[in-house]
Amino acid sequence: MDWGAILENALRSAVGLETIVYALAAIGLNVHFGYTGLLNFGQAAFLAVAAYGISITVATAGLSFWLGIVFGLLGAVVLALLLGIPTLRLRADYLAIVTIASAEIFRLVVRSTSLADETGGSNGLTGFSEGFYDLSPFTGGEYGFGPFRYSGRTLWILLVGWALVVLACLVVYLLMRSPWGRVIKSIREDEDAVRSLGKNVYAYKMQALVIGGVLGSLGGFVFALGRAAVQPDIYGTELTFFAYTVLLLGGAARVLGPVVGAVIFWVVLSLTDNILNQAIDAGYISQSLLSTSQIGQVRFMLVGLALMLLMIFRPQGIFGDRRELALDGR
């Protein structure tokens, strides 16, 4: 077995496109669930709205890349308002039901054949990312060192993506150290007590829903531009559940928790995938016991098992606080 190649792939996964996307999605969830106590099970919808906002604006309407960014962000704000207005005065489980349903509704709408001219249907859209790559200072060739060698296009999207992760973490850090952040965390602990102090709990929860949605939508931009394509089925419910896994791994209500969780999640997936593949090729694992086509599912089972053990022995995650992880249906 080539352990050098296995470790090299794991290191590349630690800084790869998927790590950035899930870190941004989990940072938004951290504002919703970690700090405010909002059960949002439709984070995939915020990423999809951003991705389709930019792709439809550029590829279908023929408008500029920057207008696509604006429409994607506005779409995330509108989605948060549509989700929050009917549900945030009710118990937390109503928001959970509405968000998981909305994500599926949005995915089914954009993949419908009746909207194929605008959204591309089940095939999705391409041809909208050139405006972004035209801004790149890297032209041709390969850049980097050691295992971190990338083409100019890949290096550009990785640098922009990690810059957005740093910016999102800084925004969350500043917000949670402000009076606004203290009110938000108080709402998570006991919103009746906060209401008794004259605070408009509904307005604060709506603001948190919008901010978390916009932060998550940044992951949608990176995902769409990094793949230079959007396809509706990659924004299914599993994206939201993986984002929750990332958040719980790193630790809820910790600024760097989502980033650490995303790195661990994708490194573990890379390690299990490469080790199992090479073990089968080397004959250490019989093909009658496990075939290469089954590895994709088995690695998620192993990650699920690791998450179960983590929840048993360290439920607060790597950097989390046990008191921050109370699933309290208010």
Cα dihedral sign, 52-172-243-213: negative
* Nearest partner of 210 among 30, 19, 32, 25, judged by Cα: 32
Closest CA to 240 of 255, 219, 256: 219
Which tens digit of pLDDT belongs to each residue from 28-72? 999 999 999 898 999 999 999 999 999 999 999 999 999 999 999
Give every CB contact of residue 56 below 8 A, 6+ residues apart in sequence: 68, 71, 118, 119, 125
pTM for the model stands at 0.92
Distance between CA atoms of residues 210 and 83, nearest Å: 10
- Alpha carbon distance 42, 40 (integer Å): 6
Residue (of 250, 298, 294) closest to 271 by Cα position: 298
The per-residue pLDDT for 329 is: 45
Task: Mention every residue, 6+ apart, whose C-beta is less than 8 A from residue 255.
Answer: 30, 169, 172, 173, 176
Residues of the chain with confidence (pLDDT) below 70: 321-330
Amino acid code (one letter) for 267: V
Report the C-alpha gap between 281 and 274 in whole angstroms.
11
CA distance 152 to 303: 32
Find, among 53, 74, 81, the residue nearest to 65 by Cα.
Answer: 53
Of 184, 310, 181, 244, nearest to 22 by C-alpha is: 244
pLDDT of residue 307: 76
Burial classification of residue 254, based on how many CB atoms lie within 10 Å of its CB (0-12 exposed, 13-18 middle, 19 or more buried): buried
Backbone phi and psi for residue 238, each to the nearest 5 degrees, phi listed first: -65, -30
Residue 253 region, left (φ>0) first, then alpha (ψ -120 to 50), else beta? left
- Taking CA atoms, 21 is separated from 67, 91, 188, 228, in Å, by 21, 30, 26, 14
- Looking at the chain, which runs of residues are DSSP E strands? 125-126, 142-145, 148-151, 229-230
Q: What single string gives the DSSP state of each residue in 183-234?
A: HHHHHHHHHHHHHHTT--HHHHHHHHHHHHHHHHHHHHHHHHHHHTEE-GGG
CATH 3.10.350 at 3-313, yes or no: no
User: Where in the chain are the domains?
Assistant: 3-313
Tokens found for residue 29 = 């969830």
How far apart are alpha carbons 39 and 22 in whole angstroms? 17
Q: Is 41 helix (H, G, I), strand (E, B) or coil?
A: coil
- Residue 146 region by backbone torsions, left for phi larger than 0, else alpha for psi between -120 and 50, else beta: left
For residues 232 and 111, is the Cβ–Cβ distance under 8 A?
yes
Which residues have CB under 8 Å from 176's CB, separation 6+? Answer: 35, 184, 185, 255
